[in-house]
Amino acid sequence: MKYNWSIIGHSKQLSVIESDILNENLFHAYLLAGPNSVGKNTVAKKMAGILQCSNDFCHACPICSQVEKGGHLDTIEMIDDKESIKIDDVRKIIERCNMTRQANYKIFLIQTIERMTVDAANSFLKMLEEPPERTIFILTTNNIRAVLPTIISRVRVMNFAAVSAGYLEKKLRELYPDHDEDIIKKVSLFSFGKTGKAVNLMENPEELANYIKIYNEVMFFLQYRNVADRFSYVNNLAEDEGKIETFVSILSNVLRSKILDGENAEEHIETVLKIDEAMTLIKKNVNLKLVLENLMLSLK
Ligand SMILES: [Zn+2]
């Protein structure tokens, strides 16, 4: 690898991007697709840095630091704020596209492109087809099936998958030789092959401590055998919305890893599917307590 991407895995995808850059064979638009927290947004941003820095992506010049901090004039970011991207937002993108460029490139980083409404996407298509010279769109999606085929056909799609637990642990050991094995194993469990999440946890001791605390609760919780105890637990949990997603995701990962170990696999698969359903409902703001209680009823 020529550039320092500071990311775990994805070497095949990164070398494709590098060769596009080094051979000056860039596409108008890239779509980095894959589950959340596998490092797509990090790659998007690093790619912008490589293209904008005149000093070979030095990590030391003002341009590198402006791109990094999101303050670079010709590197426009649309961070996922959970709102949909509407036609007015696309108009603004088009306006920015047509403004004079000062840097090497004009780059648009648009996160979770599936947020775009159909109207917005249709007006975005024209720009995507024939952008001004040296304009590059770097888009990401967590769900490529939700992206319009007309968009997909106009971009270079790069797939980013989660990596295996074994590979992730090996890499974490290399990157963080001072951390003990228990931490590495836990981070691997919490992130389940999502490399971006793993690095984030390793770099944020407070966040990691919080995960470990909730993990201990999950292990304790799994020992509850009667529904009344579980209900009283989720009633407390429902008061603390920030905690729910972490709790549910750790619970799901613990069960998934049991499945991989072949422990009560069928029973756990059923539960994991129900957890996934519950997660979807929670994200849709369906009554939390109700979702959690139904989930508790389905636990074996
Ligand atoms: Zn630089």
pLDDT tens-digit map of 41-78 = 999 999 999 999 999 899 999 999 999 999 999 999 99
CA of 72 to the centre of ligand 1 (A): 12
CA of 74 to the centre of ligand 1 (A): 15
Residues 153, 240: Cα–Cα separation, whole Å: 43
CA of 160 to the centre of ligand 1 (A): 26
pLDDT at 12 over 90: yes
CA of 105 to the centre of ligand 1 (A): 14
142: pLDDT confidence band, cut at 50, 70 and 90? Answer: very high
SS3 for the chain is CCCCCCCCCCHHHHHHHHHHHHCCCCCCEEEEECCCCCCHHHHHHHHHHHHHCCCCCCCCCHHHHHHHHCCCCCEEEECCCCCCECHHHHHHHHHHHHCCCCCCCEEEEECCHHHECHHHHHHHHHHHHCCCCCEEEEEEECCHHHCCHHHHCCCEEEECCCCCHHHHHHHHHHHCCCCCHHHHHHHHHHHCCCHHHHHHHHHCHHHHHHHHHHHHHHHHHHHCCCHHHHHHHHHHHCCCHHHHHHHHHHHHHHHHHHHHCCCCHHHHHHHHHHHHHHHHHHHCCCCHHHHHHHHHHHCC
Q: What's the whole-model pTM score? A: 0.82
CA of 227 to the centre of ligand 1 (A): 58
| Protein residues within 5 Å, CB atom, of ion ligand 1 | 53, 55, 58, 61, 64
CA of 5 to the centre of ligand 1 (A): 13
- CATH ID of 11-159, from 3.40.50.620, 3.40.718.10, 3.90.78.10, 3.40.50.300: 3.40.50.300
More confident residue, 264 or 73: 73
CA of 52 to the centre of ligand 1 (A): 8
How do residues 217-263 score in pLDDT, each as one tens digit? 999 888 877 888 888 888 888 888 778 889 999 999 999 998 888 88
Domain borders along the chain are 11-159, 204-298
CA of 63 to the centre of ligand 1 (A): 6
Residues 6+ apart with CB under 8 A from 208: 183, 187, 201, 202
Rounded to 5 degrees, what angle do the CA atoms 59, 208, 252 make?
A: 115
CA of 65 to the centre of ligand 1 (A): 7
Q: Which two tokens stand for residue 85?
A: 């991207």
CA of 140 to the centre of ligand 1 (A): 24
CA of 46 to the centre of ligand 1 (A): 11
Place of tokens 């500071």: 6
CA of 184 to the centre of ligand 1 (A): 32
CA of 141 to the centre of ligand 1 (A): 27
How do residues 100-125 score in pLDDT, each as one tens digit? 999 999 999 999 999 999 999 999 99
CA of 45 to the centre of ligand 1 (A): 13
CA of 56 to the centre of ligand 1 (A): 6
CA of 62 to the centre of ligand 1 (A): 7
